[in-house]
Amino acid sequence: MRCSSTKCSAPFRALPAIICVAAVCLQSCSSHRKLETLKREAVPVQLEMYRPQMQLPDVPILTEHRDTLRVTGADGREVIIMNAVKDENGEMVANDRLDAAVVSARFRNVAERDGKVDLRFDVIVPERMMDSNWQIRLRPEMTALGETVKLDSITISGSRYREAQLRGYQRYQRFLDSIITDSAAFVNARDLEIFLRRNIPQVYRFRNDTSIVTEQEFASSFGVTHRQALDHYTSRLKIRRNDRKIASVGKMYARYVKVPIITQGIRLDTVLTGVDGEFIYSYVQSLNVRNGLTRADIVMDGDIYQEDFRIMELERTPPLTFYISSLSSLADDREKYLTHVIERVVEANSVCWIDFAQGSTVVDTLLGNNAGEIGRIKQNLNSLLEGGEYEIDSIRVTASCSPEGSFNFNRQLSLERSKAIASYFGDLSHLRFIADNVPENWEMLKTVVASDDSLNAVQKEAFARVMDIQDPDDREAALSAMPAYRYFREILYPRLRTVRFDFCMHRAGMVKDTVHTTVPDTAYMRGVRALKEHDYQSAVTLLRPYNDYNTAVAYCAMGYNASAMQVLKDLEPGDKEEYVMALLCSRNGEDATAVQHYLNACTLNPSFVHRGNLDPEISRLIDKYQLNDEFY
C-alpha cells in the first residue's frame, strides 16, 4: 500500500540532514583522535638538507663501486688514490662502498658565488599530521651573524579547511552585495508615479524623456515641489537599515571571515585535497653574503589550526647549519708597493688676474678684484712654505697683455707690469722674484676660442685663418675686421691679461737629484678590499691589470674559470695558487688534476686539509677519494 501522508514522508525528508550531521561528527571524532595521537607520540615536522630528485637507474639501489686515481706524491713517486679505509694496523685498504638510498645530515657546506649563497632545505610534514579539517602554519627562521630573521612562512590547508575559508568570503560578499549603493532604490517609484499621473499630468508625460523640468513646472495644484515629493516617497527605514550595514562592514568581515587567506609573507600556500604520503616542500632562501658571515642556522616551528583555534603547537626543529665558504677569504691582503721617484727640484705654478689701469704699471689693490687675487697668491705661498718640506729658490712672475695695440708697446707694458708685481711681492717677503713677460697672449686666446660655445663654426674657422698671419700687428688688424671682434674685445681679451707665478723649489735637506722609494699601491689595495667585501665586479676591474694571485681569485669568484686558470699558470706555484687551481680543475671535471693540485696545496700548507671541507668543489673530491686520510 502506498502512503502519501506527511506523517510518513517527514522522517524520510529529514534523513539527509541527519546523515550530514552524523558525517560531520565522524570527521570531528576522527580529527580529534588524530590530534590526540600526534600529541601523545610527539610527531614532528622535519627539516632536512635538500636532496635533489634524481632519476633512478635501472639497477639495484645498492651498488658496489670503487673510485681510483693515480697521482704524483710530494716525493715524486706515483700514488694510487682510491676509496679506502685504515685497517687495524693503520694501513689504507680498498673499500667497496654501498650507496645508501637516503643520507640525512644536519649541516652542509655551501659556496658563496658572486656575493650570494642559496640555502636549500626540505620541509617534511608527516602524513599523520595532515587532516582535511586542519591548517598547518610553519614558520622558518634564519640566524646569521647574531641576527634572527623570520623567513616567509608555509601554509598547508586541508580541503575542508579551505572550503570553510571560502564559504566565509562568500557570505561576506553576499553581505556586501546587500548594501544599496543607488539612492533611487530607496524611493517608492510606484506611488510616486501615481502621484505624478494624478496631480501633475503635464510632468508625467516626461517620464520617458530626459528633459529638465523646473520647479515651477513640477509644482502640483497643492504646491508640492519635486524635492518634497521625493522626500515623501523615500523610505527612511530602508536608509537607516542600509546605513547600519555600511557601519558594520568591518564587524561582519570579522564574523564571516574568521581565518583570512593571507598572501603577504607567504612562501607557499597550498591546499591538500587528499593525503598520499608525507608532504615535502623544497625551500630555497637566497642570502647576500656580508663580511664575517661563515655560518647560517635554519630552524622552524609552527601550529595546527582548526577553524580559527590553535589546537596544537609544533615543537621547534633542531637547527640545520650551513657553513658558508667564500672565495674572498682566500685573498692575499699583503700590501703591494710601487717604486716612486722623488725629484729634488719641484715646480709649481699658479695663475691670477691682476687688473691695471689702461697703460698703467701700478699695482692698485683697490682696483677690480685685485685684493682677492693678491690674497690668493699669498695663501699659495704660505701653503708651500708650511711644514718646512720645501725651500723656494725663486719665483718667476710672467705678465701678459691682450693683442689690442702695437706689439712693441705691449711688450714693454707687460715687462713693466711684471717688474711692478715682482717688486710688490718682494717687499712683502725675503723671496726672490724674477720678472718675465709674454707681450700678447695669443696661445691662450686659441685655447679660449676653441672652448667657447658662443662662437659658431664659421666664426672659429675665420679666427683660424687669422691665426695663420705671422706678424702680430697684422694679425690683430685682420681680427678687428671680423664681425665678432666686439665679442673678442669685450669678453675674451680680459681673460688674456694674466699673471703667472712659477715657483722653483727644492726639497729641504735633500742632496741627491733623485731618490727612489716605495709607496703603497692604493689602486691595488682598493681591489683587494673590494674582493674581501664580495664586490667581485669592482675587484676584477681594479685587479685585472696586475694579473697576480688576487686577480685569479677575483676571476674565480666571478666564474671566469678560464681567465683564472690562465693567470695561475703564469705564476710561481704556491700553496694558495695550488688550492685555487684544484678548485678550478674540479669545476671543469678534471678530477685527477684537481686532486694533484689539492694534495700539493696540503703538503705546502696543512691548513688546507681543513679548508677543503668548506668548498664544495674540493669536499666532493675529499668524499669521493677519501683524500684527507692521507694526512691523518
Query: Residues 498-542: pLDDT tens digits?
Result: 999 988 888 777 766 665 567 788 999 999 999 988 889 999 999
Sign of torsion over alpha carbons 8, 9, 10, 14? positive
Q: Supply 548's cell numbers.
A: 697576480
Is the model's pLDDT at 364 over the cut of 80?
yes
Query: In sequence order, what are the residues at sequence separation of 6 or more whose Cβ sits closer than 8 angstroms to the Cβ of residue 328?
Result: 112, 531, 532, 533, 534, 553, 557
What is the CB-side half-sphere exposure of residue 415 using CA atoms within 13 A? 6
Residue 161 vs residue 628, higher pLDDT: 161
Give the residue-averaged pLDDT of 200-216. 62
Facing residues of 394 across strands? 504
Is the model's pLDDT at 571 over the cut of 80?
yes
Residue 192 vs residue 166, higher pLDDT: 166
Is the model's pLDDT at 453 over the cut of 50?
yes
Is the model's pLDDT at 44 over the cut of 60?
yes
> If we measure between CA atoms, which residue out of 287, 355, 374, 352 comes closest to residue 324?
287
Supply φ then ψ for residue 462, to 5 degrees. -65, -40
Long-range contacts of 445-448 (CB under 8 A, 24+ apart): 445/402, 445/403, 445/492, 445/496, 448/492, 448/495, 448/496
pLDDT band at 41 (very low <50, low <70, confident <90, very high): confident
pLDDT at 102: 36
Give the residue-averaged pLDDT of 346-357. 85
Is the model's pLDDT at 20 over the cut of 50?
no
Is the model's pLDDT at 315 over the cut of 80?
yes
Query: In sequence order, what are the residues at sequence separation of 6 or more whose Cβ sits closer than 8 angstroms to the Cβ of residue 394?
Result: 431, 432, 433, 434, 504
Give the residue-averaged pLDDT of 264-277. 83
Is the model's pLDDT at 3 over the cut of 50?
no
Over the stretch 54-107, which tens digit does the pLDDT of each residue have? 333 333 333 334 455 666 665 565 555 555 444 555 554 444 433 333 335 678
Element (H, E) at 302: strand 295-306
Is the model's pLDDT at 18 over the cut of 70?
no
Query: In sequence order, what are the residues at sequence separation of 6 or more whose Cβ sits closer than 8 angstroms to the Cβ of residue 56?
Result: none
Q: How far is it, in rounded angstroms, from Cα 335 to Cα 332?
A: 9
Task: Let me know: does 47 contact 142? Beta carbons within 8 Å.
Answer: no
Q: Supply 137's cell numbers.
A: 602554519
Q: How far is it, in rounded angstroms, from Cα 316 to Cα 138?
A: 10
pLDDT at 272: 83
List alpha helices for 407-495, DSSP H: 407-428, 442-451, 457-467, 472-480, 485-487
Span of 25-29, 30-34, 422-426 with lowest mean pLDDT: 25-29
Is the model's pLDDT at 222 over the cut of 90?
no
> If we measure between CA atoms, which residue out of 101, 554, 138 comes closest to residue 316?
138
- With 0-12 / 13-18 / 19 or more C-beta atoms within 10 angstroms meaning exposed / middle / buried, residue 579 is buried
Query: In sequence order, what are the residues at sequence separation of 6 or more whose Cβ sits closer than 8 angstroms to the Cβ of residue 186?
Result: 180, 234, 235, 238, 239, 242
Pairing of strands 153-158, 134-144: antiparallel
pLDDT at 99: 35
Span of 89-98, 367-376, 565-574 with lowest mean pLDDT: 89-98
Q: How far is it, in rounded angstroms, from Cα 31 to Cα 135?
A: 12
Residue 454 vs residue 91, higher pLDDT: 454
pLDDT at 210: 58
Is the model's pLDDT at 406 over the cut of 50?
yes
- Write down all domains in the chain, each with its CATH number in brackets: 46-53+63-166+262-326 (2.60.40.10), 180-256 (no CATH), 343-516 (3.30.1330.60), 519-631 (1.25.40.10)
pLDDT band at 6 (very low <50, low <70, confident <90, very high): very low
Span of 324-333, 360-369, 511-520 with lowest mean pLDDT: 511-520
> If we measure between CA atoms, which residue out of 603, 612, 594 comes closest to residue 630?
603
pLDDT at 58: 37
Q: How far is it, in rounded angstroms, from Cα 236 to Cα 246?
A: 15
Is the model's pLDDT at 144 over the cut of 70?
yes
pLDDT at 70: 60
pLDDT at 216: 60
